[in-house]
Amino acid sequence: MWYSRMALRRLQRIAVTPRNITGALTSSVQREMSSLPRVYVTRQIPPEGLKILRESGQVQFELWDSDDVPVPRKELLQKVKGVDGLLCVLTEKIDAELLDAAGPNLKVLSTMSVGFDHLSLEELKKRLTYSACVCVFFCRGIRVGYTPDVLTDSVAELTVALLLTTSRRLIEATHEAKTGGWGTWRTLWLCGYELANSTVGILGLGRIGVAIAERLAPFKVKKFIYTDVAPRPELASVINAEYVSLDELAKQSDFLTVCCALTPETKEICNKNLFSKMKNTSIFINTSRGGVVNQDDLYKALSTGQIAGAGLDVTVPEPLPTSHPLFTLKNCVILPHIASASYTTRNAMSALAANNLLLGLQGEPMIKGLEL
């Protein structure tokens, strides 16, 4: 269901509010810290989340005390041994190796992200078999929390900013002004493409896609179109968007923004087949996941003029090596995965991740949990 702006703000308030979980402080005073559930936090998350963990009295936790460098894999595999809960970010690959290293005590995984392609969902719900004298069957039974919704506004804002920056060639213009290229006024110099009377296509219509369209509508966009695994009439009605096939999305869009999750079905869905159908005046924007784009095909489409420009907040790999060919193109704007990077949003994400973790360890329903 689509969240109204009021409902979204309410969720953000809920996310940053410490959960009033039964026995949080009183019981913790009465028992030794060593008996509390053990939690490992893989990053120095924003302060709201750490505050909730510290003040809960529910857990003893250790964290990788850095926000600049991810925890080395070897150390991560050591630190998760025997933990009851794990709070991670999208840089950590949660796979069979890590889950086996953690062992059977691990009951809750909370990720500070809306995407969960870094989690092996099959492994998290896998039925395992161990054999001693007899076979013993058990399921991992790990509960998973994530942090959608609270980042909708910031991602939508960044997407619009990236779209305008790319279509109006602002990075090129700034470079020319700084390096002496700003000469006499010229009639077509640094001309770009405007939103007025345009068709905007959305690949993957969810809350973020709707929020992007709402922000673009005041620019006098003529029409919104979208494609998804199936029509989404309730969401589409909010922005008066028309459902079309992927081919039609490519053919009709003056601006095509990608908002879908990375799944086996969407991996490299934006490839030469899609780019070949787009207008040579089209602008391509991706703020979802880098894996939905075939970057070699995108480079060819941009370098040959098959499409006019691209703005990317996500790439494969991340960070993208500075020697990558996409960086040589003036018509490609690349950002370092900052769509949710506002103080408000990142704190709300960390708080929601912390609350999901605590609720999960108490056996209570998470605020936002995945059904495995």
pLDDT value at residue 301: 98
**What pTM did the predictor assign?**
0.87
Question: Do 241 and 224 form a contact (C-beta atoms < 8 A)?
Answer: yes
pLDDT value at residue 31: 47
Residue 347 CA to residue 49 CA, distance in Å, equals: 7
For the segment 38-62, the average pLDDT, to the nearest whole number, is 97
Candidates 89, 91, 92, 67; CA nearest to 77 is 92
Give the other-Cβ count within 10 Å of 195's Cβ: 21
Q: What is the CA radius of gyration of the chain?
A: 23
Q: Collapsing DSSP states into helix, strand and coil, what is residue 22?
A: coil
- Bridge partner residues of 334 (DSSP): 312
Helix axes 170-179, 152-167, angle to 10 degrees: 60
Is pLDDT of 21 > 80?
Answer: no
Question: Do 42 and 77 form a contact (C-beta atoms < 8 A)?
Answer: no
Question: How does pLDDT run across 299-356, given as a tens digit for each residue?
Answer: 999 999 999 999 999 999 999 999 999 999 999 999 999 999 999 999 999 999 999 9
**The residue type at 145:** G
Is pLDDT of 145 > 70?
Answer: yes
Catalytic residues: 337
Distance from the Cα of residue 242 to its chain's centroid? 25
Question: Do 48 and 147 form a contact (C-beta atoms < 8 A)?
Answer: no
Residue 315 CA to residue 287 CA, distance in Å, equals: 9
Q: Are strands 135-139 and 127-131 parallel, antiparallel or unpaired?
A: antiparallel
Candidates 17, 98, 120; CA nearest to 354 is 17
